[in-house]
Structures are given as C-alpha cells and as structure tokens.
Amino acid sequence: MNKKGSSSPAAPGATPTAADLERAMFAQANPADAEILMRFFKTGPGQYGEGDRFLGCKNPVTRRTAKAFRDISVREAVRAAQSPWHEVRLCALLILLDKYQSKKTDESERAAIFEEYADLARRGFVNNWDLVDLTAPGITGAYAYAHGVEILEGFASSGRLWEERIAVLSMFPFIRAERLEEPFRMVDRFLAHPHDLMHKACGWMLREIGKRDRSALTAYLLAHKAAMPRTALRYAIEHYPEPERKTFLAR
C-alpha cells in the first residue's frame, strides 16, 4: 500500500478529474484488505452487496483522498461516483457531501448536488449501507429539511433497498431539530419491511429520537412493539435501563 502522499490530486495548476481520483485510490489499494471488505460488505452471490468490487482502501484513506480532491468539480465527482470500485464511489460521494455543506455553496448549487445524488441513487451507484449512511443525512436529509420532507417520497416509494434506506437516514436533521413527527411517520412506513438492514435503520432512528425525547419514543414503542421487528426494537431501546429493555423484549 502506498503512503499518504500518493493520494495527491493532479499536478499543480491542472484541474483534477475523475480519472485522477481513481488513480489516486488505486495507488493506495491493498488486496488483503479488499478480501476482508468484500466479506464485510456481503458481496457474495445472493447477498446485499453482490458483485461489488473493492480496492482495499479503509475509511481513513478514502477520507484523506476526498480531502485532497475537494476542489474537483461536481461534474467530475459525479463521474467518479459511477466507478465500479466501491471506495472510489464513496470518495466521490464524500466530496459531494463536502461541497453541499460548504458555506461557499449557494442554494441553487445545493439543489443541483441533491439532484445529482438522487440520480446516482436511482441508477444504483449509492448501493451499500456505508455509502448511504455517511452521505445521505447531510445531502438528501439536509435538502429535505430545508425544502420539505415530501422531497423524499421518490426514495421512500421506490421499492429499492438503498433508496428506502436513504429516505430513513434522511431523518437525521429532523431528529436533531426535534421535529419528530416526520421521522415517526417514516419509520411507520418500513416497520414491515422484509430486509434486516431496514429494521436496523428504523431502530437506529428511533434510538436517536429517544436520546432527545424518551417519553415520545416510549409512547411509540408501546403502540407499535407488537408489530415491530425484533432487530428494530433492540436498536430502539439500546439506551433504556436493563429492566425496561427486558419488559419491551418480553412483548
């Protein structure tokens, strides 16, 4: 694996491109770690990450590269986000997140980044839980909080796992602001979802609600615990005292 300096962008004065970013990530590849990551992100036949390809770049490497390429254009970042390599897609999405959150970015530019991100998701490039969890709250979540939760309807009603998870993880800004009606409604939509990754996402959002308003979460759980997947319930009550957790889990 190459050293830190290999994550540098194009030569001084040149505008970095998607190809430059991908080369920088390749220079830091680690085949042994790639094998581990492929197992961790379930890339085998029939698994949720089936067929995904990994370079073996761990998150600190990817984040460092994203920082080095932060001046890449949105257009080139979007191109990089269509890479067949998982870590290149993550790096590009982190760059889009950084651009979205920059004080230099105006509302029209944020709208464009949101639309590009949504298009990437629809076309299957935001396609694992780490890609969603690290970027959706700060892009789709922030945009929905600013412009209306109905903007998330396309994700929530898509019938596709990763877009549905984007809708749920986009509740973070609402929860932080203690606007809890929207997150509760979003969780309601997916309590009967067949996939464990959605149960975890819903439970995670409920747990975050509980950190801010324990009584509201308790009331919700009392009304829904009989229909709630056990994984979601376990996540939701993680910070409750042990006796209360046992009572909820006993149904």
Per-residue pLDDT of the chain (251 residues; tens, 9 = 90+): 344 445 667 666 678 999 999 999 999 999 999 999 999 999 999 999 999 999 999 999 999 999 999 999 999 999 999 999 999 999 999 999 999 999 999 999 999 999 999 999 999 999 999 999 999 999 999 999 999 999 999 999 999 999 999 999 999 999 999 999 999 999 999 999 999 999 999 999 999 999 999 999 999 999 998 889 999 999 999 999 999 999 999 86
CA distances for 59 relative to 6, 9, 134, angstroms: 16, 18, 11
How far apart CA 17 and CA 23 sit, in angstroms, is: 10
CA atoms within 13 A on the CB side of 42: 9
Residue 2, pLDDT score: 41
Residue 250, pLDDT score: 87
Q: Where along the chain do its domains lie?
A: 1-113, 136-251
Residue indicated by tokens 């209306």: 148
Residue 10, pLDDT score: 65
Cβ(126)–Cβ(120) below 8 Å: yes
Cα-based torsion angle of the residue sequence 150, 153, 154, 157 in order, rounded to the nearest 10 degrees: -170
Residue 5, pLDDT score: 42
Q: Is the CA virtual torsion 170, 171, 177, 181 positive or negative?
A: positive
Q: Name the pTM for this structure.
A: 0.94
Residue indicated by tokens 């190809």: 19
What kind of fold does domain 136-251 have according to CATH? Leucine-rich Repeat Variant (1.25.10)
How far apart CA 213 and CA 194 sit, in angstroms, is: 28
Residue indicated by tokens 């761990």: 58
**What kind and span of H or E run contains 183?**
helix 181-190
